[in-house]
Copies of this chain bind each other. A is one copy, B any other.
């Protein structure tokens, strides 16, 4: 292949890949990706969760859609967005991995806002699976109910953080409780563990969130309706 033609090819090729990274090049859109990793959602719900205007949210979603990172379906009056692919989730996890390992600003932010989390004694996915098999543990999904319904760890009980305080009596003090939520930067599980400990339960936090569990091929369930 002739040299200037080769250059043309490379430029166009890498620019195509850059469509993906450009689409991901916004904190707001990454937040949308993380939310969609929990399950599909309407524009309205995404706007509310990210505290942006609906028009703005819609535009961000369209950027993601033009990069083929998300897909839509109409459901009644609503349009539901979801991640296009497992690969998108994998990409986000790879990204999270680098940020966590290499951007000290991130560790710093977590420390400032979430404090020292050492004492939460995070349980790894593998360990939880073993303990689940031995029925030694109660797994608690503290995300909003819709996210639990869209998909959860097999055998987990839904108890959204907002309801936890009033439903404590449903939980046994005899067994260990492992709480999980969206991922390592989600505060729900932290808050749940703190509350449970104060009330005298043996509570721990799952290391990752639901997407981390699911992408490893560990057992999940959902209560999706037809």
List residues of A whose CB falls within 8 A of some B CB. 1, 5-22, 24-31, 34, 51, 68-69, 84-85, 87-88, 90-91, 94-99, 101-103, 105-106, 109-110, 113-114, 185, 187, 191
Interface centre among A1, A84, A110, A114 (most CB of B within 10 A): A1
With A27-B11, A30-B17 known to touch, is A5 a contact of B87 (CB < 8 Å)? Answer: no
21 residue pairs bridging A and B, Cβ less than 8 Å apart: A8-B113, A9-B113, A12-B109, A13-B185, A14-B30, A17-B95, A17-B96, A17-B103, A18-B26, A18-B27, A19-B103, A20-B99, A21-B21, A21-B25, A21-B26, A22-B26, A24-B25, A68-B103, A87-B94, A87-B102, A91-B95
A90 to B90, CA, bound (A): 10
A87 touches B91 (CB 8 A): no
In the bound complex, residues from chain B placing their C-beta under 8 Å from that of A69 are: 98, 102
Query: In the complex, which of the residues B26, B51, B85, B106 contacts A16, with contact meaning CB atoms closer than 8 Å?
Result: B106
Find chain B residues with CB under 8 A from A84 CB.
102
CB neighbours (8 Å) of A29 from chain B are 18
Report whether A16 and B103 are in contact in the complex, using a CB–CB cutoff of 8 Å.
Answer: yes
Q: A68-B102, A98-B85, A99-B16 are in contact. Are A25 and B27 (CB under 8 A)?
A: no
